[in-house]
Amino acid sequence: MDIQWYPGHMTKTKRMLLTQMGLIDVVIELLDARIPLSSRNPDIDTIAKDKKRVLLLNKADLASENITARWEEHFRQMGFFTLPVNAKDNKKTGGTAKLAALLKEIMRPKVESQKKRGRINAPIRAMIVGIPNVGKSTFINQLAGRAGTITADKPGVTRGRQWIKVGSDFDLLDTPGVLWPKFDDQQVGIRLACTGAISDNVLDKITLATHLLTLLTDIDPAIIEKRYRVTTASLAGAASATDESGTSNEVNVPGEINTPSEAALQLLTDIGNARGFKMKGGVIDLERTAIILIDEFRGGKLGRISLEWPE
């Protein structure tokens, strides 16, 4: 997995974020509810350490409801404010309205003290951060709505930074720079690749699909068995044979990251066979099968599935 480009990009983004922090009251971090740990950039903890912090678990529609509720509890205990949201269906789920109410609540003490000093209607200034593909643009569009206007650069803010006015109460600053996930851990890399957070060029589709099959079979074999009408016994056996750790979050990926396991490849072949994805000569089209599997997982067709859960 190529991670060479990470430090250079992040150093620049980190510097930019730090210079903006003085202007900010609250830092809103958008995470993928299916992988709240892998989709966090750990540098934010240092950059925003003195700020009020909100963690939004986006794409909650694709994650297990039960596990998302456990994550909420977990993050609250760590001192974060947190909300599950669905930026794609915000009208129905009301995530942005809930966030606005939460921000008001968080900032009430500051607003009251400003009022006492005669400063009324000073907007709350929030920065929104998130790794690529987590749904930041979708969420900001929902938050700003039609009333949202992109305001001119403020003094001290690098040209090109976007302040977005949300009603009369909030000013929102989009992340300056690109906040990459930290995927030097193979498991993190696999989860980010499965959810589509990192480029599909990092792992070839077939290898990625075999990792996804291993993850899903480890969570619940019925996910694959019900949808594709295949048996996962050989892969489930291979996974449990190597799983002696007993830790709930350790999902097995047999072999090297770039080498698909035999058992997972066989399962992928079985799925292709069940779907009738055959090429000339009756050979199963593994590439097509892999693409379908990954797309169906990402699109929620396999159900609401979380790939990480709290201890």
Binding site for ligand G4P (CB under 6 A): 58-59, 61-62, 86-88, 130, 132-138
For tokens 């050979």, name the residue: 283
Residues pairing with 174 in the sheet: 128
Nearer to ligand G4P, 114 or 138 (CB): 138
Q: Which of 102, 58, 104 is nearest to 81 (CA)?
A: 102
Structure tokens at 6: 């990470």
Sign of CA dihedral 243, 290, 30, 199: positive
Distance of CA 123 to the CA centre of its chain: 28
CB of 232 to ligand G4P, least distance (A): 25
For tokens 């030097």, name the residue: 184
Nearer to ligand G4P, 113 or 137 (CB): 137
CB of 61 to ligand G4P, least distance (A): 5
> How many angstroms separate the CA atoms of 294 and 209, rounded?
6
For tokens 């892999």, name the residue: 290
CB of 52 to ligand G4P, least distance (A): 22
> How many angstroms separate the CA atoms of 218 and 236, rounded?
7
CB of 127 to ligand G4P, least distance (A): 14
Q: Are strands 149-151 and 163-166 parallel, antiparallel or unpaired?
A: antiparallel
221-to-40, 106, 180, 184, 217 alpha-carbon distances in Å: 28, 42, 32, 28, 4
Nearer to ligand G4P, 196 or 221 (CB): 196
DSSP symbol at 63: S
CB of 87 to ligand G4P, least distance (A): 4
CB of 133 to ligand G4P, least distance (A): 5
Nearer to ligand G4P, 26 or 87 (CB): 87
Shortest-Cβ-distance residue relative to ligand G4P? 135
Question: Using CB atoms within 10 A of its CB, is residue 234 exposed (0-12), middle (13-18) or buried (19+)?
Answer: middle
> How many angstroms separate the CA atoms of 249 and 247, rounded?
6
Sign of CA dihedral 221, 224, 230, 236: negative
Nearer to ligand G4P, 95 or 272 (CB): 95
Nearer to ligand G4P, 136 or 211 (CB): 136
Nearer to ligand G4P, 56 or 111 (CB): 56
CB of 197 to ligand G4P, least distance (A): 9
